[in-house]
Amino acid sequence: MSNARIAVSLDQPIATINPNIYGHFAEHLGACIYEGVWVGEKSPIPNTGGMRNDVITALKKIAPPVVRWPGGCFADDYHWEDGIGPRANRPRRINVWWGDAIETNEFGTHEFVRFCDLIGAEPYICGNVGSGSPRELRNWAEYCNFAGDSTLARARAANGHAEPFRAKFWGVGNENWGCGGHFSAEDYAKEYKRFSTYLRDFSDNKLCLVACGPAGNNPDWTRKFFSTLGTYHRIHGFAAHYYCGTAGTATEYTVDEWYHLLWRSLEMETLVRQQRATMDSFDPERKIGLFVDEWGTWHPAAKGRNPAYLWQQNTLRDALVAALTLDIFNRHADKVVIGNIAQTVNVLQAMILTDGAKMLTTPTYHVYDMYQAHQGGQSVWMACEAEGITFQSGGKNQRLPSLCGSASLKKKVLTLSIVNTHATNTVEAAMELRGARCQEATVTELVHTDIHAHNTFDAPETVKPRTRKLQVSGPEWRYAFPPASVTVFNVPL
Domains 4-10+380-492 and 18-376 share a fold: no
Residue 287 pLDDT grade (very low, low, confident, very high; cuts 50, 70, 90): very high
- Nearest of 269, 309, 284 to residue 401 by alpha carbon: 269
Could you tell me whether strands 378-385 and 4-16 are parallel, antiparallel, or unpaired per DSSP bridges? antiparallel
Please say if 175 is a catalytic residue: yes
Considering the entire predicted model, what is its pTM? 0.96
- Judged by phi (left if over 0) then psi (alpha if -120 to 50, else beta), residue 49 lies in left
Contact partners, residue 354, CB within 8 Å, separation at least 6: 31, 35, 36, 52, 55, 345, 346, 360
pLDDT digits (tens, 9 = 90+) for 85-108: 999 999 999 999 999 999 999 999
Asked whether the predicted pLDDT for residue 81 surpasses 90, the reply is: yes
- Ramachandran angles phi, psi of 225, nearest 5°: -60, -50
In CATH, the number for domain 4-10+380-492 is 2.60.40.1180
Asked whether the predicted pLDDT for residue 483 surpasses 70, the reply is: yes
Domain ranges of the chain: 4-10+380-492, 18-376
Please tell me whether residue 252 adopts helix, strand or coil conformation.
coil
| In contact, 18 and 337? CB cutoff 8 Å | yes
Of 175, 191, 257, 269, the active-site residue reads 175
pLDDT digits (tens, 9 = 90+) for 204-262: 889 999 999 999 999 999 999 999 999 999 999 999 999 999 999 999 999 999 999 99
For residue 134, count other CB atoms closer than 10 A to its CB: 17
Across the range 13-20, mean pLDDT stands at 98
pLDDT digits (tens, 9 = 90+) for 381-394: 999 999 999 998 88
Query: Angle at CA 209, nearest 5°, toward 180 and 129?
Result: 25
- Strand boundaries in 436-481, DSSP class E: 438-447, 466-474, 476-481
Of 35, 111, 257, 294, the active-site residue reads 294
Contact partners, residue 69, CB within 8 Å, separation at least 6: 25, 26, 27, 112, 123, 124, 125, 126
Residue 33 pLDDT grade (very low, low, confident, very high; cuts 50, 70, 90): very high
| In contact, 338 and 282? CB cutoff 8 Å | no
Across the range 44-68, mean pLDDT stands at 98
Please tell me whether residue 317 adopts helix, strand or coil conformation.
helix
Please say if 163 is a catalytic residue: no
The CA-atom distances, in angstroms, between 146 and each of 84, 140, 157 are: 16, 10, 11
In CATH, the number for domain 18-376 is 3.20.20.80
Say which range, 77-86, 273-282, 467-476, 483-492, has the weakest mean pLDDT. Answer: 467-476
What local confidence, expressed as pLDDT, does residue 3 receive?
82
